[in-house]
Amino acid sequence: MEFELRPRQGVPPVLLGATLAEARSAIEGLGFLEVRDFRRSPDEPDALFFHGPVDRVSGFAYGDEDGRVEAIELANPNPRNEPGQGQDQVTYSKLDVFSSTARDVIRTLGAETEIDSYGDSLMVPDLFMQFWRGGEDHDRVDDNGDPTFFNSVLLAIEGYY
């Protein structure tokens, strides 16, 4: 399955601004093994967590105080496998952001808009996207010692950051 990152819209069928109930229904319709309520901390708004089966993306739909989706985060389904082995693809502008090297993603985004890099995090302010690489799931590194592939991406509403 392909999940297309659409800034200011969402990751169809999960749309920014939808209610968490609408997001739950959309996610459940995609065949995930589990979709459950989630909170990052007791004082944070409600969110949804979804995952599985193996080689599928997993992620979160974060809600705001009104119970509407304000951010969608997707995790790489295959951070230790060879690129392209996952069942799901996450794309932006026809580029698979998890199977393409981080350098290729950065080059593509940098040709289109301003990007800011903060260690293992890449911010794309105009598109309200943030990418992360690093962590224990990465065995492959580039010539600079940085993880070769991104392991997650977050797409948010304007003003989320």
Distance set, CA 66 to CA 2, 38, 44, 103, 140 (Å): 29, 15, 12, 38, 41
Q: How confident is the model over 22-59, as pLDDT tens digits?
A: 999 999 999 888 999 999 899 999 999 999 777 788 99
pTM exceeds 0.75? yes
Residues 67, 133 contacting (CB under 8 angstroms): no
Q: How confident is the model at residue 139 (pLDDT cuts 50, 70, 90)?
A: low
Residue 46, exposed/middle/buried by CB under 10 A (0-12, 13-18, 19+)? middle
